[in-house]
A and B are shown apart, each in its own frame.
Chain A
């Protein structure tokens, strides 16, 4: 039960650190995240590391951040990210989803995958190269689409080699 509380606290603080526009407030949220993580580490049975994490994460690193932010000065930066937002959400989501699936499968909680596609799993075992090919194709396709849709001059300096 306590784990759930601490866990929710950690995630909330991290999200707040992420979404704040002012850098100093972001550093403060990071310090708070560090403190809660130190608590979690203590609950997992590592008192020494909890102390170290607290003093380093919530102390040293935060002070460093405050110094750096003060020296470099807060400036107004356009919020619009370089990457189109869907890519960011999408990739993280897919990665997290897959990892979640792996976790659930390893912990034995989820077993429906096995029941559903036993036959197709057997097929994949022997058609192993196909999977690799498909992955490569998908990767290449994504790269290609990104390349085509990226706005920017297509610099083609055709140096004549002859």
Chain B
């Protein structure tokens, strides 16, 4: 059958976003949360490139996607540094244990 390319890629994007969000929602390990974030952002990068492809603006799209990848990498770096510090200070990466908001 003739499934148009954009539809396939859109479903991939949707899938990536959904899996990334689910990973952030349903895990208790802080580092897994960052992994989920990475998956989510990959979906965003693919979305930008798809839009660029559909409007024949590939170079512009690549520039935008570059910005996103850089930003996301920095987030991952800082996030991992935080996770390591939290592990060293409180001895646990469980989001339930490290949450100190008074109820």
Tell whether A140 is near chain B: CB-to-CB under 8 Å: no
- Per the bound structure, the CA–CA distance linking A40 and B103 in Å amounts to 46
Interface residues on B, range: 35 or more
| Number of chain A residues whose Cβ lies closer than 8 Å to a Cβ of chain B | 63
- Per the bound structure, the CA–CA distance linking A91 and B92 in Å amounts to 28
Instruction: Check B6–A107 contact: CB distance below 8 A.
Output: yes
Per-residue CB proximity of B6-25 to A under 8 Å, as 1/0? 11111110111111111101
Interface residues in A1-17 (C-beta closer than 8 Å to B): 3-4, 6-7, 10-11, 14-15, 17
Instruction: Check B18–A3 contact: CB distance below 8 A.
Output: no
Instruction: Check A68–B84 contact: CB distance below 8 A.
Output: yes
Instruction: Check B76–A18 contact: CB distance below 8 A.
Output: no
Question: What chain A residues lie within 8 Å of B76 (beta carbons)?
Answer: 61, 64
Question: What chain A residues lie within 8 Å of B3 (beta carbons)?
Answer: 4
Shortest CB-to-CB span from A134 to chain B, Å, is 25
| Given A11-B19, A18-B36, A56-B69, A41:B29 Cβ within 8 A | no
- Per the bound structure, the CA–CA distance linking A27 and B36 in Å amounts to 10
- Per the bound structure, the CA–CA distance linking A41 and B96 in Å amounts to 37
Instruction: Check A10–B52 contact: CB distance below 8 A.
Output: no
Shortest CB-to-CB span from B88 to chain A, Å, is 8
Instruction: Check B49–A44 contact: CB distance below 8 A.
Output: yes
A-B contact pairs, 11 of them (CB 8 A): A6-B12, A10-B12, A30-B39, A40-B9, A44-B49, A44-B52, A49-B62, A75-B92, A75-B93, A77-B29, A107-B4
Task: List the interface of chain B (C-beta within 8 A of A).
Answer: 3-12, 14-23, 25-29, 31-32, 34-36, 38-39, 42, 45-46, 49-50, 52-53, 58, 61-62, 65-66, 69, 73, 76-77, 80-81, 83-84, 87-88, 92-96, 103
